[in-house]
Structure 1
Amino acid sequence: MNRKPPAYRRQGRRAAVAACLVLAVGLGVSTHVSAQAAVRAPAKASTAAPQSVSGKSGQVVTRVADFYGAYIDAKGDYTDPDVTLATALRKHYLTPDFAKRLAVWEKKNGADGVLRAQNIPARWTVTDNGTVGHSHEVIVTLTFGSGETTQMTKLFVLVERYNHIADITTTSAR
């Protein structure tokens, strides 16, 4: 049983609550000060326009850009390249006949046939080059290296009318 009068117990509670408040405020201030010290000054605003990428469902250029972007990402992770994804992308985007011819080219040349290289490009662009017979040709420009030591490779990607890649060459079919 508690033998202290009710007024005395309230004073004790008030003192405990006040002590907690002081402690909380004190900790909050010190935490706030250290958090402010850790915040970096905002970087200067870039004068370049924000980058955007757009595409259109069913458009040949978008389809080729999607393939190359995903393929380069799958192959380009040097610590953990996703071979399974790269293989699945080839199966999805390439015609079976071209996939066979590409495997022969790769064995003969010791390079990745989709990229026509042994390494992964730093940048790429995809540009429409118009129709060729019943197919469509798209130009893929791959940029390897960085700074002053860059090398560009231009590939001509032939897409059949069912939106599968039927050939990749270094010369135009036009």
Structure 2
Amino acid sequence: MSRNTHVRRPGRRAAFAAGLVLAVGLGVSAQAAAQAAVPAKAPVKTSAAVRTVNGFNGDVVTQVADFYGAYVDAKDAPRGPDAALAKALRAHYLVPAFAKKLEAWEKTNKTDGVLRAQNVPVDWTVRGDGESREITVTHRFGGGESPTVTTDLVVKADAVDGVSDIRTKSAR
């Protein structure tokens, strides 16, 4: 007895057969809809953009990147801002004395002190050599129809204590 080991992949014939079965069972109008809904050939992606985010435990640049990533997510969550998470992140990452100083700065400037803005960036970049305690965080705001604005922040942090200062790059 011979076994057929050839494997067939579904394609146009399978789509046609599915449409034919549908037409017999549901009528000709369903066949037209089914054939319109089933593409003859699925598009093939020629290149996929693979993104990689690297970091490692104990690295101050990674910690600042983790903080900003989580903080932006909390402030711009799909179901609305998560104030409790943003507050918890601040408590975890900010040096307590700096957190109090930052709250006073926010009251005076009426803006978010971590982001140094009233809105949430569309993307951000964190740069540092891992040895310096000062890390540069670049936020890009806007996009779509609005103009793009870029803000550079200098974040002073260490791996043990956390973030002890945030300022705009031009400020000293």
CA distance in 2, matches of 1:92, 1:72: 15
Aligned-residue offset at 1:77: 2.7
Unaligned runs of 5+ in 2: 1-17, 26-30
TM-score normalised according to structure 2 size: 0.72
* Pair 1:151–1:58, CA change in 2 (3 A): same
The one-letter code matched in structure 1 to 2:169 is: T
**Deviation digits for residues 127-151 of structure 1, max 9, x if unmatched?**
005655xxx1110000000157100
Residue 71 of structure 2 contacts residue 89 of structure 2 at CA under 8 Å; is this kept in 1?
A: yes
Structure 1's 138 and 39: CA in aligned 2 closer, same or farther, altered over 3 A? Answer: farther
For residue 58 of structure 1, give the secondary structure of its aligned residue in structure 2: coil
Aligned length, in residue pairs: 146
Q: CA deviation at 1:155?
A: 0.3
- Rate the CA distance shift 1:117–1:45 in 2: closer, same or farther, 3 A: same
Q: Does 1:29 align with 2:21?
A: yes
TM-score (norm 1): 0.71
Amino acid at match of 1:101: K
Higher relative contact order (CA 8 A, sep 6+): 2
* Counterpart selection for 1:156 from 150, 154, 159: 154
Q: Determine which structure has more spread, i.e. the larger CA radius of gyration.
A: 1
Trace 1:18-167 onto structure 2 (pairs within 5 A): 29-30=21-22, 37-39=36-38, 42-43=42-43, 45=45, 47=47, 49-77=49-77, 79-128=79-128, 131=131, 136-147=133-144, 149-167=147-165
Deviation for aligned residue 1:57: 1.1
Gaps of 5+ in 1: 1-25
How much identity, in percent, do the aligned residues show? Answer: 51
Q: Distance in 2 between matches of 1:55 and 1:66?
A: 9
| Cα distance in 2, alignment partners of residues 52 and 76 from structure 1 | 22
